[in-house]
A and B are shown apart, each in its own frame.
Chain A
C-alpha cells in the first residue's frame, strides 16, 4: 500500500483553520463539528487522493457533535489529524473510524474542563485585570496591548497544543495527565489567581456605606466606622454574597439582577455610594 504522509505545511494549515474558525458558526446543535469537518476536508482529500467516497465518509464522521476548549483542547484536533493519517496508511485495519470518534468523545469533555479552568478562569482574567487598571486611567495603548497580546498568546497556545497532539498521537493525553503537569499548573495559577483576586476586590469593587446619622451633639458616620473596624468590608461581604448565590445554583443573570436591585435601592435611599 502506498504511503501518503502529511507535510508540516498540511498540519500548519490545519492549525490555522482550527484557530480562526473554531467558533465561527457556533450553534446549539453541533457546536464545533463544522470547523472540525472543514479542517479535515483538505487533509482527507490529500490522504485519499480525492476519492470522493472516502472523503465523504471522513467528513460525515467529523460532522458528529464535537465541542472542546479551543486552545488547550487543540491537542485533540491535532490527535485527530494524526489518527486519520494513521488510518489512511494502515493496511491492517487496526485503526478504524469508530475508534477515532470514541477518542474524540471521551476526551473532549475533560479537555474542555481543564482548558476553561486554566484559560477563562485564570490566565485571561489575571492579564485582563492588570490591563483594565491601566485602561481605566485612560490609556488607549492598554486596550491594544490586550487585543494584540492575548490574540498572540491564544494563537501560541493553540499552535503548541495542536502540534503536540499531532506529534504524540495516541498516548499524548495520558502523558499529559499523569505527569502531574496539570496539577502543578493549576496550583501555580490558583495561588497567583486567588492572591490577585483578593486585591482586585479592593481595587474594583468601590461601593461603600455612606449612611450618616445626625445626632444632637455629633454626626455618626457609619461608613467611616465600618472602614475603621475592617476596611473594605462592604465590597468583601457583597462579593461573597454574589459568590454564595452562584454556589447555591442561581444563574449569573439572577445574581446580576439582585446586585442591581441592592445597588440601586441602596444608592437611591442613601445607604450606599
Chain B
C-alpha cells in the first residue's frame, strides 16, 4: 500500500512538466532509480532505467507531440522488471507496450489541459494576473493526478502479484524474443538521433566513429566525446563549415 502510494507520488513528479521534473523524475534513468528505491533496489532500478533510456536517446517533444511515452516507459518499465524479476534486456522490451499505453495518457493530458487557457482568458480580461499564475502552477499537475497518478496507483497496488505469474507463464521462445527485442530497440533511439543530426557533408564523421568502435571494440563514450571535440575544434579553426541546416 505504502509502495503503491509512493509510486503514485512518483507518477505525479514524473508526469509534471518543467525542467526540474524532466531531469530528476522523467528521464528513465532517474525514474528507474526512484522506482528501485521504492522497491528496495535502487542500483538495479538505475541499471534497468538506464537501459530503457537508451531506446529513448533521441526522444524529443516538439509542440507537445509525444514520440513515444518516455514517462511511463521508464517508470512502469522498471516497475514491471523489478517486480517480475526479469533480466534487463527483457525489461527493455516490456517497456514498449507500457510506453504505448502511456502515449494515450499524454494525449489525454494535453487535451484535458486545454480547458485551462479558456479560464485564463477570462482571468486576463479581468486583469487578474495572480489568478493566471496560480492556474499555471496547479492546472497541469491536477490533470497529471487524474491521468497518470491514479492509473499508476492501481497498477502498483493490484498488479504486483499478477506480473510475476504472467512472466513465469511465458514460454522460452517468448523470453528469447523479448531478449532479442531488448537488444534491438536501442536502434530506435539511435535512428531518432540520426534523423536529427544527419547531414550529408558531416556523414564521414559518423563513418569514422562507427569504424573505430566496431573494429577496436573500444566503446567508452567519453573517449569519443573528447576525440570528437578535438576534431571539431581543429576543423573549425581551419575554416571548415557545414551549410546551415534549414529550420522550419
Contact = CB atoms under 8 A, between A and B. Distances in A.
A31 B63 contact: yes
Contact of A135 (B46, B100, B228): B46
Nearest to B103: A253
Interface string A7-23: 00000000001011111
B140 A203 contact: no
B47 interface: yes
A29 B114 contact: yes
Interface stretch (A88-96, A98-106, A143-151, A164-172): A143-151
Q: Which label, helix, strand, loop or mixed, suits the secondary structure of the A interface? A: helix
A3 interface: no
A60 B24 contact: no
Contacts of A184: 236, 241
A135 B129 contact: no
Contacts of B133: 17, 38, 41
A259 interface: yes
A124 to B, nearest CB: 9
B23 to A, nearest CB: 5
Given A143-B33, A193-B197, A197-B194, A23 B176 contact: no
B211 interface: yes
B113 A263 contact: no
A213 interface: no
Nearest to A208: B183
Contacts of B203: 194
Nearest to B241: A187
A192 B210 CA distance: 13
Contact of B196 (A42, A120, A131, A208): A120
Contacts of A196: 209, 221, 224-225, 228
Interface in B191-248: 191-199, 202-203, 205-215, 219-222, 224-225, 227-229, 231-233, 235-236, 240-245, 247-248
B210 A236 contact: yes
B187 interface: yes
A239 B187 contact: yes
B146 interface: no
A150 B195 CA distance: 23
Interface string A193-206: 11111111111111
Given A110-B247, A203-B221, A259-B187, A60 B47 contact: no
Contact of B193 (A139, A195, A197): A197
Q: Chain B's interface: helix, strand, loop or mixed, by majority? A: helix
Interface stretch (B1-9, B79-87, B119-127): B119-127
A116 B176 contact: no
B178 A264 contact: yes
A264 B93 CA distance: 9
B206 to A, nearest CB: 4
A205 to B, nearest CB: 5
Contact of A186 (B130, B213, B233, B242): B242
B96 A197 contact: no
Interface in B1-57: 16-20, 23-24, 27, 29-30, 32-33, 42-44, 46-47, 49-51, 53-54, 57
Nearest to B171: A268
Interface in A115-131: 116-117, 120-122, 125-126, 128-131
Contact of B190 (A26, A151, A239, A264): A239
B63 to A, nearest CB: 6
B51 to A, nearest CB: 6
Interface stretch (A77-85, A217-225, A242-250): A242-250
A238 B46 CA distance: 27
A132 B50 contact: yes
B183 to A, nearest CB: 4
Contacts of A174: none
Interface of A: 17, 19-31, 33-35, 37-38, 40-42, 44-45, 52-53, 55-56, 59-60, 63, 67, 70, 109-110, 112-114, 116-117, 120-122, 125-126, 128-133, 135-140, 142-144, 146-147, 150-151, 154-155, 158, 180, 182-184, 186-208, 231-232, 235-236, 238-243, 245-247, 252-253, 255-256, 259-260, 262-268, 270, 272-273
9 contacts: A19-B19, A26-B17, A29-B118, A113-B247, A140-B42, A143-B33, A195-B231, A196-B224, A198-B212
